[in-house]
């Protein structure tokens, strides 16, 4: 390495990224400016877009970063209101980040960001959208150039033929949970999973307390015979509801669930959804794209309870496609105090967890499954890897034989 290369490589870290969230784009800038030494020509950066709401196309009704929390809960907002909300958000973000970004890019002798941080700096030149086309129909006029839609961020089930990678291990759940599911199966005909997200949001305690109250009410309903007549036909002594509470923070759960004192409730810190969902009749979650993808993969009806960011848009897309329902986390937490909300959520979960032959959500999954197979064979990570490899195949000059991939 030459003296100049040594000096440049030493100087590069002195230009800190303006934000950790913008770090990948910053690396792309350093590569364009030749500030990464002899490997700079071979550096390619790709943005992984996990939710279509981040692209802010016209079909996104709930802005993911809106400062107006109440507006994000509305699905009826006209396009003009959504654009105004995005403009306000852009103004706030630009005031916080644009001055430092301009200093950073001016030091690299690169073009500044005339259209603002979100439009000019949020995505790399190449991006991958990890949702299928039926979930987010392509918006050719609104989506940025260089964007490829690859499907859910899931791995293929088939083994990798190239050594040394072994055959994939089958997904599993903890032994204690597996025993509980097996022992209680004769007494319960419905199994619902409740999870509040890996971030343990502030409303987690209220969410799980409401979930416990809802399940208790569902089990009381078959005894009181106060269900609508269309439900009475399928409900009997063996069709009660049991619940699995997934959270790594047991302190947010109601007293008695962690200790196993409440009948029909089980707490588990972690379980592979690929192994758990086939045993379940419905899932209640916050609306993260990973959980949505897992539920879709196993045709599990879902009740989405969004509270932040892209969750609102994900929930509305689930409801529009007919594979689940959506109710805000704030509203479902009211089930502890409001009998009206409690009854509404109870009835939703009854419909979602109906048997296969009478469940409209599962029938819709069958239709979408055929669409998925018609669009492409395989899952998103395989196609994402193909897109990345194709980038290096078209390089000029060609990259060296050994190339490091950083994620």
In this prediction, residue 163 carries a pLDDT of 47
The DSSP 8-state label assigned to residue 247 in this structure reads -
- CA 313, CA 74: separation in Å to the nearest integer? 10
Q: What is the mean pLDDT of each run of 10 residues along the chain (407 residues)?
A: 33 39 74 79 84 85 66 67 80 84 85 81 86 89 87 67 53 89 90 87 90 87 49 55 93 86 88 92 93 90 91 92 92 89 90 86 82 57 81 70 51
**C-alpha distances in Å from residue 98, one per residue of 28, 113, 115:** 17, 8, 10
pLDDT given at position 244: 95
What is the CA angle 295-296-302, rounded to 5?
50
pLDDT of residue 125: 82
This model's pTM is above 0.85: no
Alpha-carbon distance of 388 to 124, in angstroms, equals 13
Give the C-alpha separation, 342 to 155, whole Å.
Answer: 38
Say what the pLDDT of residue 167 is: 55
Alpha-carbon distance 31 to 407, whole Å? 16
- Residue 349: the pLDDT is 92
Instruction: List the one residue out of 49, 81, 48 whose CA is nearest residue 62.
Output: 81
Q: Which of 244, 242, 315 is nearest to 275 (CA)?
A: 244
Helix or strand run (H / E) with residue 257: none
Q: Classify 195 as helix, strand or coil.
A: strand
Q: What angle do CA 221, 240, 251 make, to 5 degrees?
A: 95
Q: State how far the alpha carbon of 40 is from the alpha carbons of 5, 186, 406, in Å.
A: 11, 62, 14
**What does the angle CA 166 – CA 167 – CA 173 come to, to the nearest 5 degrees?**
115
pLDDT of residue 9: 34
**What is the set of domains in the chain, with CATH numbers?**
3-151+378-393 (no CATH), 175-366 (3.40.50.2000)
Are 273 and 292 spatial neighbours (Cβ–Cβ below 8 Å)?
Answer: no
pLDDT of residue 158: 53
């Amino acid at each position: 390495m030459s003296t100049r290369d040594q000096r440049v490589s030493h100087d590069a870290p002195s230009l800190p990224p303006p934000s950790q969230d913008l770090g990948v784009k910053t690396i792309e800038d350093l590569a364009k400016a030749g500030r990464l030494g002899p490997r700079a020509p071979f550096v390619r950066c790709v943005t992984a877009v996990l939710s279509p709401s981040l692209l802010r196309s016209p079909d996104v009704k709930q802005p993911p970063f809106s400062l107006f929390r109440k507006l994000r809960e509305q699905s009826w907002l006209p396009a003009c209101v959504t654009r105004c909300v995005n403009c306000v958000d852009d103004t706030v973000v630009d005031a916080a980040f644009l001055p430092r970004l301009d200093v950073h890019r001016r030091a690299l002798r690169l073009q500044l960001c005339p259209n603002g941080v979100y439009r000019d700096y949020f995505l790399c030149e190449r991006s991958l959208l990890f949702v299928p086309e039926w979930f987010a129909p392509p918006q050719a006029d609104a989506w940025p150039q260089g964007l490829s839609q690859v499907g859910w961020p899931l791995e293929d089930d088939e083994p990798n033929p190239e050594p040394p990678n072994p055959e994939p291990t089958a997904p599993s759940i903890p032994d204690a949970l597996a025993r509980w599911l097996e022992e209680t199966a004769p007494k319960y005909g419905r199994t619902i999973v409740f999870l509040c997200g890996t971030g343990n949001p502030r409303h987690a305690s209220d969410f799980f307390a409401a979930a416990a109250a809802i399940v208790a009410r569902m089990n009381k309903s078959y005894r009181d015979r106060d269900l609508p007549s269309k439900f009475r036909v399928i409900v009997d002594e063996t069709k009660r509801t049991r619940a699995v509470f997934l959270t790594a923070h047991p302190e947010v759960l109601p007293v008695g669930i962690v200790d196993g004192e409440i009948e029909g409730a089980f707490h588990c810190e972690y379980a592979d959804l690929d192994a758990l969902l086939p045993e379940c009749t419905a899932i209640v979650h916050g609306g993260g794209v990973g959980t949505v993808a897992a539920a879709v993969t196993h045709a599990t009806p879902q009740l989405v309870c969004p509270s932040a960011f892209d969750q609102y848009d994900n929930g509305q897309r689930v409801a529009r496609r007919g594979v689940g329902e959506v109710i805000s986390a704030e509203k479902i937490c009211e089930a502890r105090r409001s009998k009206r909300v409690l009854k509404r959520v109870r009835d939703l979960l009854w419909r979602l967890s109906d048997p296969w032959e009478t469940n409209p959500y599962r029938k819709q999954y069958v239709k979408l499954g055929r669409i998925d197979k018609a669009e492409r064979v395989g899952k998103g990570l395989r196609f994402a890897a193909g897109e990345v490899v194709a980038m290096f195949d078209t390089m000029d000059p060609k990259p060296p034989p050994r190339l490091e991939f950083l994620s």
